[in-house]
Amino acid sequence: MSKPFDFEIGKLTGPETHSAQKTALYPLTADAFGRGPERGTFFLETFGCQMNDHDSEKVAGVLLARGYRQVETPEAAGLILYNTCSIREKAAQKVFSRLGEYRAKQCEGRIIGVLGCVAQQEGEDIFERAPWVSLVCGSASYRKLPEMLAELEAGNHRVTGLATDTDETFETEMTRRDNPFRAYLTIIEGCDKACTYCVVPYTRGPERSRASDSILREVRQLAEFGYSEIQLLGQTVNSYKDPTPRKMRFAELLLAVADVPGIRRVRFTTSHPSDFTQDIVRAMEVQPKICEHVHLPVQSGSTKVLRAMQRTYTREEYLEKIAMIRSASRPIAITTDIIVGFPGESGPDFRETLSLLDEVKYDSLFSFKYSPRPNTPSLKMADAIPEEEKSHRLALLQDQQREIQKAHHARVIGGTYEVLVSGKSRRENQWSGYTSSYRLANFSSPAKELLGSYVQVRVTGATPNSLVGEHVV
């Protein structure tokens, strides 16, 4: 899905926010990195999914609480951090080419660190491949960041955090939030599923759910800071298992978050089909604040391929979940992820994926060519699909989905929808935001200021990826 117009507003949230914005909570204990004006500053670049984006928000919070200042370019920073993604090969390659670009910076007294999935996957090998790197830290070890930073400040040039057996979740005193209206909140980390193509169980470790009372405390705090939309995150967000005696179910948690005064929208992603239960649909029916959108990755329309992927459901079982969502008393948009060219995916298997698209008529989808990843069982599977064939299948899939989206959008033209305004175009009177069903709407309005407000937009036109409309005043 495409992004709305860019805007740059940062917000800190946490118990000490206001004092933190004025002064450092914990003055730097040792000589911070960099020799010139870049001393005590950090630059953080993020690759990958929303969970990575949110991890970076928390990492930035930890650094700010320690007295660091965030800067916009690596040139201006004493500490340069890359929060990485290794879900597909291309993403991992990008990180090494980025590290190559900043090789010279170490000579100027800068510290370079690699965080996230590539850090976890490559481990200490990164020090061999890029000896100018001083910190390698996987996402399951972020809780130890303050200690690791202290080690770096003390002059240690090989600091690692690579344990994945932690049963803790990454909760911070302070989070630097990039979006001033929608707050991400991770409720479950890691993954206990074992999809044969996926690195997540290796890079993010086993599933750990956060305590429901702690989640709700943070939601109340976010509402006080003016956030009105909460997005609950997890690789399998609906597999949430409350570790407290309260044992709140995921559907109950959705309702409890929606009940917090000031919260107007609740989203959640990503849902695993096997754990998508009727009570979630019921919660969406009774509570309109829960957005009318479910992201339910299918990966393939062929039961044979789903078995090889170890996805734990058949095509028919997946379609039963779709029927359950479609039977809700409110319309619910459904989006998905699809992998083409998994080892052994025959022409008929691929056509089953195309026929699934026709049957479900997804509102939108993310599609990927299968990418063999280190440590995953599918790496050793026979019958690899040639790259050209993968590209051909991807193009066919995307063409078909484009037509489906055009038809969806044609049906919404003329309707009026509520949009949370999150972007302002450079063009005069042009704004953007998302509907409850997560459709991007670009619209015109003569209003002077709309950012953060909820407005009614009449849809007058559409492209395959977004709606065009006008503000109904």
Q: Which residues bind ligand SAM (CB under 6 A)?
A: 49, 87-88, 197-198, 200, 235-236, 270, 272, 297, 299, 337, 339, 368, 370-371, 373
Measure the CA angle with vertex 306, ends 303 and 309; round to 5°: 155
Site string for ligand SF4, 262-281 (x = CB under 6 A): ----------x---------
- Give the torsion sign (CA, 286, 291, 296, 301): positive
Picked from ligand SF4, ligand SAM, none, the partner binding residue 368 (CB below 5 to 8 A depending on kind) is ligand SAM
With beta carbons less than 8 A apart as the criterion, state whether 17 and 55 touch. Answer: no
Q: How far apart are CA 166 and CA 138, in angstroms?
A: 11
Picked from ligand SF4, ligand SAM, none, the partner binding residue 88 (CB below 5 to 8 A depending on kind) is ligand SAM
Candidates 414, 445, 418, 447; CA nearest to 434 is 418
Query: Smallest gap, in angstroms, from Cβ of residue 197 to ligand SAM?
Result: 4
Q: How far apart are CA 402 and CA 132, in angstroms?
A: 45
Query: Smallest gap, in angstroms, from Cβ of residue 341 to ligand SF4?
Result: 16
Candidates 194, 439, 179, 157; CA nearest to 310 is 194
Picked from ligand SF4, ligand SAM, none, the partner binding residue 98 (CB below 5 to 8 A depending on kind) is none
Judged on CB neighbours under 10 Å (0-12, 13-18, 19+), 129 is exposed
Give the residue with the Cβ less far from ligand SAM, 54 or 424.
Answer: 54
Q: How far apart are CA 318 and CA 92, in angstroms?
A: 31
Query: Smallest gap, in angstroms, from Cβ of residue 235 to ligand SF4?
Result: 4
With beta carbons less than 8 A apart as the criterion, state whether 382 and 308 touch. Answer: no
Query: Smallest gap, in angstroms, from Cβ of residue 203 to ligand SAM?
Result: 10
Q: Which of 203, 235, 336, 422 binds ligand SF4 (CB under 6 A)?
A: 235
The verdict on 85 binding ligand SF4 (CB under 6 A) reads no
Q: Quote the crossing angle between the two packed helices 315-326 and 347-360, to the nearest 10°.
A: 10
Residue 430 C-alpha from the chain's centroid: 27
Picked from ligand SF4, ligand SAM, none, the partner binding residue 7 (CB below 5 to 8 A depending on kind) is none
Give the residue with the Cβ less far from ligand SF4, 212 or 378.
Answer: 378
Give the residue with the Cβ less far from ligand SAM, 100 or 374.
Answer: 374
Picked from ligand SAM, ligand SF4, none, the partner binding residue 201 (CB below 5 to 8 A depending on kind) is ligand SF4
Query: Smallest gap, in angstroms, from Cβ of residue 88 to ligand SAM?
Result: 5
Picked from ligand SAM, ligand SF4, none, the partner binding residue 184 (CB below 5 to 8 A depending on kind) is none
Judged on CB neighbours under 10 Å (0-12, 13-18, 19+), 370 is buried
Q: Locate 473 and state its tokens.
A: 């005043």
Picked from ligand SF4, ligand SAM, none, the partner binding residue 373 (CB below 5 to 8 A depending on kind) is ligand SAM
Cis bond before residue 270 (omega within 30° of 0): yes
Picked from ligand SF4, ligand SAM, none, the partner binding residue 13 (CB below 5 to 8 A depending on kind) is none
Candidates 153, 237, 258; CA nearest to 193 is 237
Residues 104-163 that bind ligand SF4 (CB under 6 A): none
Look-up of token digits 């890079």 = 203
Give the residue with the Cβ less far from ligand SAM, 130 or 199.
Answer: 199
Give the residue with the Cβ less far from ligand SF4, 198 or 306.
Answer: 198
Picked from ligand SF4, ligand SAM, none, the partner binding residue 339 (CB below 5 to 8 A depending on kind) is ligand SAM
Q: How far apart are CA 247 and CA 148, in angstroms?
A: 34
How many residues sit close enough to ligand SF4 to count as binding (CB under 6 A)? 9
Q: Which of 236, 371, 376, 435 binds ligand SF4 (CB under 6 A)?
A: 236
Query: Smallest gap, in angstroms, from Cβ of residue 302 to ligand SF4?
Result: 17
Query: Smallest gap, in angstroms, from Cβ of residue 239 to ligand SAM?
Result: 10
Residues 181-210 that bind ligand SF4 (CB under 6 A): 191, 193, 195, 198, 200-201
Residues 432-451 that bind ligand SF4 (CB under 6 A): none
Query: Smallest gap, in angstroms, from Cβ of residue 359 to ligand SF4?
Result: 22
Query: Smallest gap, in angstroms, from Cβ of residue 13 to ligand SAM?
Result: 25
Query: Smallest gap, in angstroms, from Cβ of residue 297 to ligand SAM?
Result: 3
Task: Tell me the backbone φ, ψ of residue 155, rounded to 5 degrees.
Answer: 105, 5
Query: Smallest gap, in angstroms, from Cβ of residue 164 to ligand SF4?
Result: 14
Look-up of token digits 């990454």 = 170
On the CB side of 283, CA atoms within 13 Å amount to: 25
| Long-range contacts, stretch 434-438, CB < 8 angstroms, 24+ apart | 434/4, 435/467, 436/265, 436/291, 436/292, 436/293, 437/291, 437/292, 437/293, 437/331, 437/332, 437/333, 437/363, 438/1, 438/267, 438/291, 438/293, 438/333, 438/335, 438/363, 438/364
Q: How far apart are CA 353 and CA 115, in angstroms?
A: 35
Give the residue with the Cβ less far from ligand SF4, 195 or 257.
Answer: 195
Look-up of token digits 């038809």 = 407
**Which residues contribute to the site for ligand SF4 (CB under 6 A)?**
191, 193, 195, 198, 200-201, 235-236, 272
